[in-house]
Structure 1
Amino acid sequence: MDALVAHYHEVGLKGRNREFFEETLARNLKRSLRGTGYKRIRRGFGRLAIDLQERAEVDEAALRASRVFGIANIGAGKRVEPNLEAIAQGALELMLAEPFASFSVRARRSYSSVGLSSREINVDVGQRIKDATGARVDLKDPEATAYIELFGDSAIVYRRRIRGPGGLPVGVSGRMLALLSGGIDSPVAAWRMMRRGTEVELVHFHGQPFTDPSSVRQAVELSQMLASYHLAVTLHLVPLADAQREIVLSSPSGLRVVLYRRMMMRIASVLASDRGLQALITGDSLGQVASQTIENLQAVEASVPSMQVIRPLVGMDKLEIIHDARGIGTYEISTRKHQDCCVLFEPRSPTTKARPAEVNAAEAELDLDTMVGKALAGLETRVLELPDPA
C-alpha cells in the first residue's frame, strides 16, 4: 500500500470559494499526516490523492486522514501505471487477498491518459476478477468492491474505505471557545462545532483546592481525543473555587448553580475576547437538568450580552448525545468518576426558573470584576498536539 484517496464531503458543493475550502482541507491533511511518511497531495475533481513513501505508516496515515473534518471517506490502496493492464493487475491482486462471494468494480476518472471510459474499465476489470474468482457481480450490495481512481499520470486501486467525519475543514468558520466539563455533553458540542469548520479552543473550570485534580486530568484526556480530529487543541484551565465560595457566602442557595454558570460565562467571555475568539460554545441540552430549563439558559446567557453563545446540542436528547460520544471516542473518558466543580457546594434544591430580578439582586452583593480577574490570574494554558507515530 502506498497511496490514499480522500473524498470530500460538503466541500464539493461549494461554488466560487471552493478553492479556498479545498486548500484548507489539503493543508489540514498535511498537518494530520505529519510523521507518517506522506510525499505529496494532489488535487482531483472532488477528491485528493495522497502519495506515501515506501516505508510509510499506511494504517496510521489512513486513520489520521479519516479523522480530518471535511473528509467523507478515505481509501487505502496502491499506485499503478495509468493503463488498463496495470490497473487490472493491481485490482486483481487486492481482490484476491481476501475471499468474497460477490463484488463490484467502481472506476472514476477526472483526467487521465487512459483512452477508456469509466464504464469500459469497470467491465474489463470486472470480467477479469470474475474469471479469476468465480464470484458473481452485484452492483447493489456487493461483499467486496474494487475501487479505481485515475489521476492523470497514475491510478490508485483500493478495496478498503474508511468513513470520515464529513463536515467542513477546520479553519473556514471562525474561531470559538468551548466550555469543557469532564462530562459527556460538552466534548460532543465542541466536536460538532469543529465539524462545522470552526477552530475551537477549550476552557475547563476546576474546583481545586477544594476538589482533587481528577477533573483536570479528565479535561486533558478529552482534549487529547479532540486533538486527534482538530490536529491541535488549546486548553485553558481556570480555578473557580474562590468564586464559588464567594457565591455560597452571600447568595441564596437555590441560585448557586445559575450564579456559578454566569460566572463561568463571564470568565470565558473575557478569555475569548483576549484570544480573539468570536463566540462561546456550551453543551446545553434543553430540559436535561435543572440548569438547562429555558429560564435558566436565558439567565445564564444574559451574563454575556456582547458575546454570541452557540449550543449545538440544544435539541438533542441524552441517548443521541451518548451515541455521538461513543462514535468520537470521548464516552469512555467522560464516564469516569471525577470531581466536577459544579457539584462543589451544590444546593439540595436548585431553582429551575431563575428570575432576572433575583439574579441581579444576588450578584449586586458580589464584586464580579474582582472575582473574574482573580480567576483569570490563576489561568493555565496548555497546547495539546497530535503526536507523531511511535
Structure 2
Amino acid sequence: MRKYEIAVIPGDGIGKEVVPVSLKVLETVAEVHGGLKFDFKEFPWSCEYYMEHGKMMPDDGVKTLSNFDSIFLGAIGNPNLVADHVSLWGLLIKIRREFEQSINIRPAKYFKGLRSPLVNPNDFDLIVVRENSEGEYSEVGGRIHRGEDEVAIQNAVFTRKGTERAMKYAFELAQKRRGHVTSATKSNGIVHSMPFWDEVFKDVKSSYPDVKTDSFHIDALAAFFVTRPQIFDVIVASNLFGDILTDIGGAIMGSIGIAPAANINLNGKYPSMFEPVHGSAPDIYGKGIANPIGQIWTAKMMLDHFGEYELGQKLLDVVEDVTNDGIKTGDIGGTATTIEVGDEICRRLKKVVSV
C-alpha cells in the first residue's frame, strides 16, 4: 500500500468548489486502484482567514506544511477583502520561496472536446518549464521620493545556479518527451540578464547533445504560440516570461480554467505544491458552475510527481473523454455543474482503472 499525506488549501472563491471535487476524484483513483491511499488534511488559510487573523497563514504554517508529502492548493485571492500583493506574498509565494520550489511546470495541449480559438491547432502538446524563484519576480528594489520626482526601481535577479537548474530540468524533461527544448529570451532589448540567460543556455545544452534546441525572443515566441504551437515540445523561460507564456497556453487550449501547474522542490527537503493556473474567480463563486478540470489535471500532475504515471495518464484520458462527450461546464460550452463533471469522471474512472 502506497500512502501519501496531502496538505489541502482550498483558499478563496472557486477554490472552495473545485478542490472538494478533485479530492473525490483522487479518492476514486485510490479506491479502484487498491494499492494506493491518500490522507488529506485541510487548512482554512485564505483571504477570509486574513480578515480574522491579520495574516494569510499562521506563523508556524510553513513548518506545519513541511510534514506533508505535497500541498494541493485551490486558488488564492479576493481583492474585495485583501490586496492581491498581500494575499499572494502572504501565502502562495511564501510557500514557493520557503520550500525552495524553484521550478514551475505548466503543460498545454490540444484537449479533446474543447474548442481551441485556433483555426488549426494541429494537436499541439507542449510544456513550459518556468524558473520559479528569482528573475523578474525578485524582491530587490524600492521606491523613493513622492510626487513628480517619484522613482520605482525593480531589479531582476538571475543567478547561474537558478538559471542552470531550470534549464537542466527542461532538458531532462525533453529527453522523456520529444527531445526538443526552446529557450525564451529577449537579449536584443534586455542587455544584461538576457545575454546571460543565452550564455547559460549554450553551456547547458552542450551536455545534452541528443536534444535539439532553438531560441526565440519572447515577443516572437508569444506570437508562435498562437500561429504554430505544434512546433514546441519543452520551453524553458524566466519567471515573468514563463508566467505570460503559460496564460497564452491556457488561451489556445480554449480556457485558462483547465490549465494545471506544479511548483517543484528538487532537493527533496520540502514538499512540492500543485495548483491550477486559474484564479479564484469570485464573480462566479457559489453558483456551482466553476470548471474543475484545471484542478483535476493538477491532481494528475501530483500523481506524476509521486511516480504514479500510468494512473495519472488514465485520469487525464478519462477527463478528456468526459469533455469530448459534452459533459462540461458553461465556460467551455456545456451545461453541467461543477459537481456533475466531477461525478461523471469518477463514474468512468471506476470502469477503466484496475488493480
Bigger radius of gyration among the two = 1
Same fold (TM over 0.5): no
TM-score bracket for the superposition, by shorter chain length: under 0.3
TM (normalized to structure 2)? Answer: 0.26
**Higher normalized strand content (fraction of residues):** 1
Q: Could you say which structure has the greater relative contact order, defined with CA pairs below 8 angstroms and 6 or more residues apart?
A: 2
